[in-house]
């Protein structure tokens, strides 16, 4: 009996580790989340039981207590359970809670890390979270606490010169940008990437003062990550948007002066 907590990566099925694939192949039961690419289930044994326990904001199909119960019931019956979670299984997930729960019953557990969207998605869009001379550090912050409030660290992040990566923050975009504006960051560049690394990927860029309006205009929804900081200026999408905006402004000036 064993629980393997597996990170599925940011969405692209090729961005999963070899160890994760090997573990999926031998698991008796696989519990998978909404953010885990279903293509990864092709690595499972034909005899494996596949159980969807996905959660989305406002649409919790399976409670955490029920997930814990399913894991415990199967592991106590001698089965190897694989818990497949999007990104890395312990970054703003409840992986450790699940592990602690079954460990109390003497169940063997292991963690198989996954590539986190917090670093991979910006990187693949041409946004390094650190760059010498631009950003010496980066923060990864959740967009809401378990009580659906902004975390207190958001105020500290807004005062920092670090690259700020916010997960699960789209529903709080207005509040977040108000905090950054209040800390003198109105002109700081922002990129928002929805469904990063997948065929459905969608990117918008702007600045703190106008990004919330662009989110609404472009119908950006979760799952999406928010990247705030100077390294966003390196993103080709930001560069193209900046050039297009300047070109439009110049054309308007020329039209006014005939």
Q: How many CB atoms lie within 10 A of CB 18?
A: 8
Beta bridge partners of 204: 192
pLDDT (0 to 100) of residue 249: 45
Q: What is the mean pLDDT of residues 87-96?
A: 91
Whole-angstrom distance, CA of residue 252 vs CA of residue 235: 26
Determine the Cα–Cα distance for residues 226 and 235; give it in Å rounded to an integer.
Answer: 13
Average pLDDT over residues 74-88: 97
Locate 12 and state its tokens: 């692209």
Strand partners, 32: 52, 84
Complete domains list, the chain, with CATH:
2-112 (3.40.1010.10), 117-242 (3.30.950.10)
Mean pLDDT of 111-130: 97
CA distance linking residue 6 with residue 85, whole number of Å: 6
Rounded to an integer, what distance in angstroms lies between the CA atom of residue 207 and that of residue 188? 5
In this prediction, what percent of the chain has a pLDDT beyond 90? 84
pLDDT at 55 over 90: no
Closest CA to 127 of 163, 75, 77: 163
Bridging pattern class, strands 189-194 and 224-228: antiparallel
Query: pTM score, two decimals?
Result: 0.90
Cβ contact 168:194 at 8 Å: no
CA dist 144 → 2, 6, 141, 153, 251 (Å): 32, 24, 9, 11, 42
Confidence bin at 160 (pLDDT 50/70/90): very high
Measured torsion, CA atoms of residues 98, 103, 108, 114, in degrees rounded to the nearest 10: 30
**Tens of pLDDT along 169-202?**
999 999 999 999 999 999 999 999 999 999 999 9
Four-residue CA torsion sign, 164, 165, 167, 173 = positive
Please, what is the average pLDDT of the chain?
92
**Is the pLDDT reported for residue 146 higher than 90?**
no
Q: Which residues are catalytic?
A: 33, 55, 168
Q: What is the mean pLDDT of residues 118-142?
A: 96
Average the pLDDT over 140-150 and give the result. Answer: 89
What's the confidence (pLDDT) of residue 252?
A: 52
Please say whether the beta carbons of 121 and 225 come within 8 A.
Answer: yes
- State pLDDT tens for residues 62-80: 888 999 999 999 999 999 9
Q: Over the stretch 199-241, which tens digit does the pLDDT of each residue have? A: 999 999 999 999 999 999 999 999 999 999 999 999 999 999 8
More reliable by pLDDT, 96 or 71? 71
The DSSP output letter for 100 is H
Q: Indicate the pLDDT class of residue 242, thresholds 50, 70 and 90.
A: confident
Cα within 13 Å of Cα(39), Cβ side: 9
Closest by alpha carbon to 14, among 140, 193, 192, 199?
199
User: Hey, which bits of 89-232 come out as E strands?
Assistant: 108-112, 138-142, 163-167, 189-194, 202-207, 224-228
For the segment 134-148, the average pLDDT, to the nearest whole number, is: 92
Residue 247: predicted pLDDT: 46
């Amino acid at each position: 009996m064993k629980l393997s907590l597996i990170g599925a990566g940011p969405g692209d099925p090729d961005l999963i580790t070899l160890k994760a694939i090997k573990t999926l192949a031998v698991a008796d039961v696989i519990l998978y989340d909404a953010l885990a690419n279903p293509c990864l289930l092709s690595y499972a044994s034909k005899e494996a039981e596949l159980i969807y326990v996905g959660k989305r904001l406002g649409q919790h199909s399976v409670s955490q207590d029920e997930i814990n119960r399913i894991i415990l019931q199967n592991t106590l019956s001698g089965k190897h359970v694989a818990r497949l979670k999007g990104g890395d299984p312990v970054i703003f997930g409840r992986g450790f809670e699940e592990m602690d729960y079954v460990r109390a019953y003497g169940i063997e557990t292991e963690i198989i890390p996954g590539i986190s969207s917090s670093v991979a998605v910006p990187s693949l869009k041409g946004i390094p979270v650190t760059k010498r001379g631009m950003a010496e550090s980066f923060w990864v912050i959740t967009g809401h606490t378990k009580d659906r409030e902004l975390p207190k660290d958001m105020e500290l992040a807004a005062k920092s010169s670090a690259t700020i990566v916010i997960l699960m923050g789209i529903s709080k975009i207005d509040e977040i940008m108000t905090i950054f504006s209040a800390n003198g960051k109105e002109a700081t560049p922002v990129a928002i990437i929805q469904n990063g690394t997948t065929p459905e990927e969608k990117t918008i860029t702007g600045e703190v003062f106008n990004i919330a309006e662009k989110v609404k205009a472009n119908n950006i929804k979760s799952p999406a990550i928010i990247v705030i900081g100077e390294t966003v200026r390196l993103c080709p999408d930001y560069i193209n948007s900046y050039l297009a905006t300047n070109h439009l402004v110049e054309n308007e000036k020329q039209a006014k002066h005939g």
